[in-house]
Amino acid sequence: MIAYIVRRILYAIPILLGVNLITFALFFFVNSPDDMARIHLGVKRVTPEAIAKWKEDRGFTRPLLYNAAAQGTAKLKDTIFYQHSLRLFVFEFGRAEDNRDIGREIAERMWPSLAIALPTFLVGVLVYITFALLLAFFRGTYLDTWGVVLCVAMMSVSVLFYVIGGQYLMSKLWHLVPISGYDDTGLLAFKFLTLPVVVGVVGSIGANARLYRSFFLEEIGKDYVRTARAKGLSEPRVLFQHVLKNAMIPILTGVVVVIPSLFIGSLIFESFFGIPGLGSYTIDAIHSQDFFVVRAMVFLGSVLYIVGLILTDISYTLVDPRVRLE
Amino acid sequence: MPFQPVFLWTDVLIYVLLAAAAGFGVYAARHEHLRAPWRQIARRPLAMVALVALAAYVAAGLLDSVHFRERLANGGDQYSAEVLSLLDKLAAPLRSRVEKTYSAPFAAHAYTKETVEYPDGRRVRAYPRLVHGGAHLKDPDERGADIGKRAALATAAGGLVWLALVAAFVALRRVPGEAYAAAARRLARGADPIPWRAILVTAGVLIVLAANAGYLSLYYHILGTDQVGLDVFYKSLKSVRTGLVIGTLTTLVMLPFAVLFGVMAGYFRGWVDDVIQYVYTTLSSIPSVLLIAAAILSLQVYMANHPEVFDNVAARADVRLLFLCVILGVTSWTSLCRLLRGETLKLREADYVQAAQALGASHLAVMARHVLPNIMHIVLITVVLDFSGLVLAEAVLSYVGVGVDPTTESWGNMINGARLEMAREPMVWWSLTAAFGFMFVLVLAANLFSDAVRDAFDPRLRR
């Protein structure tokens, strides 16, 4: 098991290197540093001196991949790729356009992100499983049919609609909670977080409840369920004790992969609800065309996704004794 | 020539896609094993209703995909810089009747107060009359009666067209010697294996709606106007094409890669498999929104620095739309590729593949002849299932600011533009409602249809 995990972590290195190369190519080959300087300094009326200074400040006067002028290992080290992209591996993200340290921003902003993503995730999983179980319990009846139709209809609504509709109903019409904002102290935090969490959960009920329902139905068709019924167990007991346990395997493994990514939060929700997390940080960076922040977030997102994949594999062995990691 | 045809990149790809779909249709019609699942789909009322609705969207999208530039009235062989489409031509009254700013659906007065000068010299702060909406009325209070009258007229006209359609259909379906009344009763009972009744009713609803919308929008702004006074109904119609392009071209762009790499990885295994797996694992490990953001940012910088590459605004917006499709394709081909690799791994051990190899068939022949046809159902299911998600993704991406060009009409841009309208008093709700409504119907129809396709083509679900 330990050997397996170590191997998986080693496998992650070439993948992250690939991610780095992709962002490097996007930001430095498609557009030269000169182009970027021009964008940030204003496309027209920009002097060559200003561009040179901009590049000098950021160390972009180095060659991209190979420095023929340098000596020894500096041939590779004294390049933009080494100095800027490979530093990401030790989580040195550098500085944003406004000269703030990206690493420190990330460390500060991931907590608000987590504060909304984690409750949404936990409440969501509970609600989806409950709904799916209800649908599975009433399978084949009108309740099930119309429940599935409702799920499909809810899936077809844009997430933006849930956000805007939720803000309108709960804040403007009923005055239950503030429209947006964030505070991390006690009751106030709860007030601010309620709306995004509710909207986040309701917005994805359709897709998830339908998916989980299909997991349950698949299990219900199996032999051990027939045996349980033949023993004379009541339908709720069959459903809760036997089916639920086994259907948790596909549910859990699908859910574990997103857990690490909860840190980076959601772009849409954080910008709509004014949460100062990593999602709104990314949106701000996109709007101000701050490549370094976007690149740092791409790298961080990939790292967290890979961690999620490793956790998924481990969780397989925990919930399903048939699986052994070699 | 009175006009000069313009072929935008996405137009050309749409034509290619149409040709491919028609080719597939002809091919499927000739092969029983492909016809059977389609027949199964054709028998599901819900799927066919969805298909009729989809067809209406596709028709609007196709009309909007034939572009040209008109010859200028005065200047010899000079053509206008503005690129128009057939839809623009058809909806010319909608396009040209621009108000000053917001106005509610069916309103005769503007949304904001202005200083109005009366003929006798008085100046009053009041809601001015709209230039076009309800301008034919002397007294705007008669609006209700006027709308009712015109709606009844349009409904009657639409109903007549529909009745003619039904009559033609009955005449066509009549068994020789059968009375027309009997054939009509057969249809009304809904006894056919293909749910013609449901199809015709849906078509009737759509025809009546279209007649109403078309006729009433000559006199009113039926969905109101936006901040710069453009008709919201026209904007929603124009957005149909953007939604369809994102939903279909993305998969068209990604398909060749996904199929080629997936089959190669599964068939050759070894180092080919390793390389392909590495590529798609790397791509899929980047959160897709962030990869799209990174790519679009690069494109923006490129476009700002190379304005000479694009000869007009439409071409520029079009390239951005196409690029968005490509980058969405890059982020979404990986899952299909993984599925195809797995299926090919299974297929290459099948007896008939082994037999073909033993008989000396080349790798290419085995892959094209024996592997490819047996994975096409996965491709089809993925393409159809992905469509609705992509349409929804466009709205989110445009909202984030990494979607289509701000000058492109799209539901995402409409929603993005309407962001602050909800906070106004009284609320400006119509742009949002129109965008969400149009998007919802399209996505719902696509979801219902794709469910039927999956049920019919997925062998695991086949009963």
Residue B115 sits at φ, ψ, to 5 deg, of -80, 115
Count the neighbouring beta carbons within 10 Å of the beta carbon of residue B78.
Answer: 11
Cβ-contact A113, A106 below 8 angstroms: no
Domains for chain A: give ranges and CATH numbers. Answer: 2-90 (no CATH), 110-325 (1.10.3720.10)
Q: pLDDT band at A193, cuts 50/70/90?
A: confident
| Contacts with A289 from chain B: Cβ below 8 Å | 297, 300-301
DSSP calls for A15-84: HHHHHHHHHHIIIIISS-HHHHHHHHH-SSS--HHHHHHHHHHHTTTS-SS--TTS-TTHHHHSSHIIII
Per-residue pLDDT of A47-94, as tens digits, reads: 777 777 777 777 676 777 676 776 767 666 667 777 777 777 777 777
A82 vs B450, higher pLDDT: B450
How many interchain CB pairs under 8 A, A with B? 126
Q: What is the DSSP string of B312-326?
A: SHHHHHHHHHHHHHH
* Residues 145-184 of chain A whose Cβ lies under 8 A from any Cβ of chain B: 152-153, 155-161, 164, 167-168, 172
If pLDDT is split at 50, 70 and 90, which confidence band does B76 have? low
Q: What is the arithmetic mean of pLDDT over B113-133?
A: 79
Q: Which two tokens stand for residue B126?
A: 């009041």
Cβ-nearest to B293 among A157, A286, A309: A286
d(CA A87, CA B399): 32
Question: Residue B461 above 70 pLDDT?
Answer: no
Backbone φ, ψ for residue B248 (5° rounding): -100, -45
pLDDT band at B217 (very low <50, low <70, confident <90, very high): confident
- Using CB atoms within 10 A of its CB, is residue A236 exposed (0-12), middle (13-18) or buried (19+)? exposed
pLDDT tens digits, one per residue of B54-68: 999 999 999 998 888
- pLDDT (tens digit per residue) in A140-180: 899 998 999 999 999 999 888 998 888 888 887 888 888 77
Interface of A with B in 25-44 (CB under 8 A): 26-27, 30-31, 35-36, 38-39, 43
pTM, two decimals, is: 0.90
Judge whether A22 is closer than 8 Å to chain B, CB to CB. yes
Contact B294 A27 (CB under 8 A): yes
ipTM of this predicted complex? 0.86
How distant is the Cα of B20 from the closest Cα of chain A, in angstroms? Answer: 27
Nearest CA in chain A to B286: A302
CB contact under 8 A, A152 and B448: yes
Tens digit of pLDDT for each residue in B229-257? Answer: 888 999 999 999 999 999 999 988 888 88
Nearest Cα to Cα of residue A132 among A199, A202, A216 = A216
Q: What is the distance between the alpha carbons of residues B449 and B49, in angstroms, rounded to a whole number? A: 9
Residue ranges per structural domain of chain B: 3-98, 140-216, 239-457
* Interface contact flag, B294 A26, Cβ < 8 Å: yes
Q: Regarding the domain delimited by B239-457, which CATH topology (the fold level of the hierarchy) does it fall under?
A: MetI-like fold (1.10.3720)
> What's the pLDDT band for B161 if we cut at 50, 70, 90?
very high
Please give the share of chain A, as a percent, with pLDDT higher than 70. 92
- Closest-CA residue of chain A to B460: A218
